[in-house]
Amino acid sequence: MVIIMNPDATAENIKDVIEMIQDAGLAAKVMEGSQQRIVGVIGDKTRLASCAIDALPGVERSVSISKSYKLASREFHPQSSVIDVDGVPIGGDEFVVMAGPCAVESREQLLEAAEIAKKGGAQFLRGGAYKPRTSPYSFQGLEEEGLKYLAEAKEKTGLRIVTEVTEVEAVQTVAEYADLLQIGARNMQNFRLLKEVGRTQKPVMLKRGLAATLDEWLNAAEYILNEGNPNVIFCERGIRTYETYTRNTLDLSAVAAIKHLSHLPIIVDPSHGTGKWRFIKPMALAAVACGADGLIMEMHPNPAKALSDGPQSLTPDNYYDLMDGVTKLAKFMKDSGIKTQDL
């Protein structure tokens, strides 16, 4: 439930609403809109059945939220959220790009990739220090040593760091080095892990599960939000369908759907979405056109020698070419005032 306040509601009016909610054993969250303020009710709204909350001074009306996810819903938070990641806003007017290798393989490889990512115009360096792999015999990552290389790359280039955290025990360690914690597709419904990253104040990028519905994805975000961390970014990375030519089926309709259902920003991963480097540019441009807030993609100084995901990694030249197109299209969208959610 949300309590919509009148535009001229006073601080005392809002305080009275919050006290009534808390007296019923529920939690309240105040959200500032451009025209008015909204008080969100967190918990079982039936506890307010005997409370005349709509009769309180300053209250315009109360609205029930039928969805199982509350904090992630646009009903609860009508204004689109902009997530600040160490000074880089995601969800605002500027398009954001995250680029780098699938896995941190060595100090030299990562620093070279960071310079390439920076030169191309990315704001983030991606790189996996902990690598959950389908096969137990595949490269599993350098773990904390890899995190230290990522931190060094940030110091040298100024790029923010996004890297995956795969288990509860590693959350605090990864949070010491990363600016953005990634929850991978395989862990989208690892609820203990979601709760743990929710207890940090680090921004979290939540990838869609291999076969997850939008409802399941939104409820996964709710676990993070419910722990007090409002800084969640969705990432569409393709889902598993009957098609086998591409690695996954990149569901760009999810971008429009999430924008409609939730206030949280969403970025797109065309690398995992297609699994083939030659399809990354057209899908990246499509992601810009459909209203995504950013991209995350795999780029390697030498994909032929990559220890992980070489076939879907861009070469430096292909990355520069992609970034040229993405930058031009994003600027055109911005300058034209095109907002796809309004179409």
pLDDT tens per residue, range 244-255: 999 999 999 999
User: Is residue 147 pLDDT above 70, yes or no?
Assistant: yes
End-to-end CA distance of the chain: give it in Å, rounded.
28
Q: What is the pLDDT of residue 47?
A: 84
Confidence of residue 239 (pLDDT cuts 50, 70, 90): very high
List Cβ neighbours of 24 (8 Å cut-off, separation of 6 or more). Answer: 47, 48, 51
Percent of the chain clearing pLDDT 90 (strictly above): 80
Q: What is the pLDDT of residue 135?
A: 64
The 10s digit of each residue's pLDDT in 95-143 is 999 999 999 999 999 999 999 999 999 999 999 998 665 666 555 568 8
In terms of Cβ atoms closer than 10 Å to its own Cβ (0-12, 13-18, 19+), residue 115 is middle
Q: What is the pLDDT of residue 63?
A: 86
Angle at 288 between CA 286 and CA 293, to 5 degrees: 135
User: Is residue 67 pLDDT above 50, yes or no?
Assistant: yes
Q: What is the pLDDT of residue 343?
A: 44
Beta bridge partners of 164: 182
| Domains, the chain, with CATH or none | 2-63 (3.30.70.1140), 83-342 (3.20.20.70)
Q: What is the pTM of this model?
A: 0.91
Contact 222, 259 (CB under 8 A): no
* Antiparallel, parallel or unpaired: β 37-42 and 27-32: antiparallel
